[in-house]
Amino acid sequence: MLSRVAESIYWLNRYIERAENVARFLEVNLNLILDLPRRVQQQWQPLVATTGDSEYFAQHYGEASAEKVIQFLAFDRNYPNSLISCLQRARENAQSVREVISTEMWQQVNSFYLLIANTAADLTLADLNKFLEEVKQASHLFAGVMDATISHNEGWHFGQVGRLLERADKTSRILDVKYFMLLPSLEDVGTPIDELGWIALLKSTSAYEMYRKRSNRHLITPAEVAEFLILDPDFPRSIRFCLSQVERSLHLITGTPPGAWRNPAERSIGRLRSELEYLTVEEIIERGIHQFLDRLQQEINQLDQEIFTTFLDLRSVVYQSSQTQTQIPIQTQTQSQSTLT
């Protein structure tokens, strides 16, 4: 498969997943705010903080308010991670590989794009909730259509890698919203108000029902919510689940047997996944949840970079080869510091 094609399918899926998660961010904040006592001021600044783009926001919008943050995250065409920008780029990527993806996928990307482009920026609160619901639906529909209409070969796996890396990153950031969210006051920690916050968070990751079902300990405690969203082996939005699927897809692309690695990307993902498999939530809390998530996000970025250099950008390899005038076909396997025996 052409590297450019693989890259486009990768980003097509990342952008769709990113859009879905932007909707989830807005949703979790809306729900948290509605549950806060009236005496507490609405908090929109923390949401901006989780995007990592506070500076852009301050420059273009000033003080955070509901209207401004919605405009910023959903409809700002100049902000690269807004809903509309994500869909525009998803659509561009889809268009550049239209002969590779299925017609149904192309149509779904198109209607997803139109859903956002045709929505007015001055939504009422009631409309906003419905709109966010539709965005999530459109993303699920895309994933389903892709799953059901194209062969699960290399291209499909690159799509999976893109979607699941993005999801792992965003789940970690949604958890972080709670960290940035200033609690009403210290004595509210562990009170019903605090519990409502965690429930809102679980719901925004579609995790509430599965969390309740996972064991016979039905309590909602911060540690257990963190454990569920970071370390659960089966829940499809948990970070561990996402990363194991990424690893599986990478291995199916290269043919490297499980438990081994033949390129930097496979090595990084293997390490990261196994760390999560053997980590306990107590250890995470000891390190500090925010610090842990921060590092995890960096490692995910690193992995994205390694995937790019391993599969998608062969220019450096090509350059070396033309220097030495070798006739060896350039393949990822030539970087074989393999641990295979």
Contacts with another protein by CB under 8 A lie at 1-6, 88, 91-92, 95-96, 98-99, 103, 106-107, 117, 154, 158, 253, 311-312, 314, 317-318, 321-322, 325, 327, 329-332
Q: Toward another protein, which CB reaches closer, 91 or 167?
A: 91
* Longest distance between any two alpha carbons in the chain, whole Å: 73
Nearest distance, CB of residue 5 and another protein, angstroms: 8
Place of tokens 């605090």: 194
Nearest distance, CB of residue 252 and another protein, angstroms: 12
Tokens of residue 150, six digits: 């194209």
**Burial environment of residue 78 by CB neighbours within 10 A (0 to 12, 13 to 18, 19 or more):** exposed
Q: Toward another protein, which CB reaches closer, 105 or 225?
A: 105
Helices 154-180 and 192-204 pack at an angle, to 10 degrees, of 160
Q: Toward another protein, which CB reaches closer, 43 or 321?
A: 321
H/E stretch holding 181: none
Nearest distance, CB of residue 243 and another protein, angstroms: 21
CB neighbour list of residue 305: distance below 8 Å, 6 or more residues apart = none
**Residue 132 · residue 26 · CB < 8 Å:** yes
Q: Toward another protein, which CB reaches closer, 124 or 322?
A: 322
Nearest distance, CB of residue 113 and another protein, angstroms: 8
Nearest distance, CB of residue 302 and another protein, angstroms: 20
DSSP line for 234-286: S-TTSHHHHHHHHHHHHHHHH-PPTT--SSHHHHHHHHHHHHHHH--HHHHHH
CB neighbours (10 Å) of residue 145? 18
Q: Toward another protein, which CB reaches closer, 12 or 64?
A: 12
The Cα-based distances of 25 to 47, 65, 113, 202, 216 in angstroms read: 7, 15, 19, 12, 29
Q: Toward another protein, which CB reaches closer, 204 or 256?
A: 256
Nearest distance, CB of residue 315 and another protein, angstroms: 8
Q: Toward another protein, which CB reaches closer, 260 or 317?
A: 317
Q: Toward another protein, which CB reaches closer, 42 or 95?
A: 95
CB neighbours (10 Å) of residue 296? 21
3-state class of 51 per DSSP?
helix
Nearest distance, CB of residue 158 and another protein, angstroms: 8
Nearest distance, CB of residue 322 and another protein, angstroms: 6
Residue 76 CA neighbour count, 13 Å, CB half: 17
